[in-house]
Amino acid sequence: MFKSTFRACAFIFTGAFFAPVASIAEVEGPKVNWDLNAHGGSRALTRGIEAMSEYISEQTGGNFSIKIHYGGALGRPQDNIDSIKLGAFEMGLWSSAWSPAKAPALSALTLPFLPLESIDEVARVHQSYLNHPVLVEEAAKWGAIYLTTQLIPESSVMAKGDTPKSLDDLKGLRIRIIGNGARVAELLGATPVSIPGFETYPSMQRGTMDGVSFPSYGYSAFKVDELSDWYSDDIKFGRLVTVSLVSKQAFEELPVQYQQLLINSIPVAQGALKDAYGGIEEVNFPKWKEMGIDRVSFDPAAIETMEIENSEAIYADWIASANERGVPAKKLLDFLLSEASDN
């Protein structure tokens, strides 16, 4: 039932931010209460699941509710994928960076140099990729469904010190960066440092680190903009991917109209995320200018050359690693790049 029902519903959504399929009228059905385990507090990243929960409650007159438990109240968020498999709760947010080996196919979305520019493009490509049979099968091994991602913006870089004039000026910088972005930092001659986000401010303050790489909303959240002199979002370091996991069993036990409603809530969640991230950038970019933080633009030709010269090797390494874990990686990456190039 799962494959036929979920995949049929999933492909109703083929683009970014379309209006939901469900009508404004309430969707009738029984009382169903779900729990969702989320890391951290309410913030931009959670606006999607919050909008989803509100939409589903409104459409069902409160009969289908999804209660969000912040701060990992239901268990360690890093273990959400395992907890879903054990049936501990019905939904959870989970980042592939926590345990890439558990979801090797999903980790392709974190690769650098993917040709995705706008959040609309990210929404369309991510959803298409999650609907691929290989991803559906990977999630099912954990008793889960990859419902949607949180559309986290591409990681950029903010640092203190002299404003760079070219990519060569990044050599020798110590930058906090995790995941595939560390590989890009090394290509630029920088030294990647892997530390938790909350340690970035004191590390920059002590001078043990020159800069950090976060999605755009992270700099003010961790206050590193107070210590910084310049910022650039020209380099495609890759993005962190946090997926909304749904228990496959819980989904199958829903009445069909609730299953459809959950799928219909995907563009609602994505629209809320678009507004949240965009709203933060509308505040931060002018604020940083007032703070004297230079926004740096590097030579596009130099960036393109770097990507052309290094993307093949980085992708080949991912393919080899994913193949070892039973993923048809080359075929999957070709699909992802094809979807991205259709923008």
271 and 165 within one domain: no
Q: What is the pLDDT of residues 235-290, one digit of tens each?
A: 999 999 999 999 999 999 999 999 999 999 999 999 999 999 999 999 999 999 99
The answer for 179, left when phi > 0, alpha when psi is -120 to 50, beta otherwise, is left
Q: Quick check: 81 and 144 in contact, CB under 8 A?
A: yes
Distance CA 332, CA 319 (A): 9
Mean pLDDT along residues 321-343: 94
Instruction: Decide if pLDDT at 15 tops 90.
Output: no
Sign of the alpha-carbon torsion through 317, 148, 41, 213: positive
Q: How high is the pLDDT of residue 234?
A: 95
Distance CA 324, CA 249 (A): 29
170 and 36 within one domain: no
Domain hosting 197: range is 154-238
Sign of the alpha-carbon torsion through 54, 55, 61, 66: negative
* Residue 325 in domain: no
Confidence band, pLDDT 50/70/90 cuts, at residue 213: very high
* Residue 312 in domain: no
Give the end of a domain, one of 229, 252, 280.
280
Mean pLDDT along residues 208-225: 94
Q: Tell me how many domains the chain contains.
A: 2
15 and 160 within one domain: no
Give the end of a domain, one of 238, 265, 295.
238
Q: What is the pLDDT of residues 119-162, one digit of tens each?
A: 999 999 999 999 999 999 999 999 999 999 999 999 999 999 99
Mean pLDDT along residues 161-176: 97
* Residue 294 in domain: no
The pTM of the full predicted model, rounded to 2 decimals, is: 0.90
Mean pLDDT along residues 166-186: 94
Q: What is the pLDDT of residues 60-102, one digit of tens each?
A: 999 999 999 999 999 999 999 999 999 999 999 999 999 999 9
Mean pLDDT along residues 164-182: 95
* Residue 319 in domain: no
Q: How high is the pLDDT of residue 114?
A: 95
Mean residue pLDDT of the chain comes to 92
Q: How high is the pLDDT of residue 145?
A: 99
* Residue 321 in domain: no
Q: What is the pLDDT of residues 19-40, one digit of tens each?
A: 444 444 489 999 999 999 999 9
Confidence band, pLDDT 50/70/90 cuts, at residue 343: low
b/e sequence 254-283, b meaning 16+ C-beta within 10 Å: beeebbbbbbbbbbbbbbbbbebbeebeee
Instruction: Decide if pLDDT at 111 tops 70.
Output: yes
Q: CA angle at residue 121 from 108 to 106, to 5 degrees?
A: 20
203 and 225 within one domain: yes
Q: How high is the pLDDT of residue 26?
A: 82
343 or 258, higher pLDDT: 258
User: Of 265, 85, 107, 122, whose CA–CA distance to 180 is shortest?
Assistant: 107
177 and 122 within one domain: no
Q: How high is the pLDDT of residue 199?
A: 94
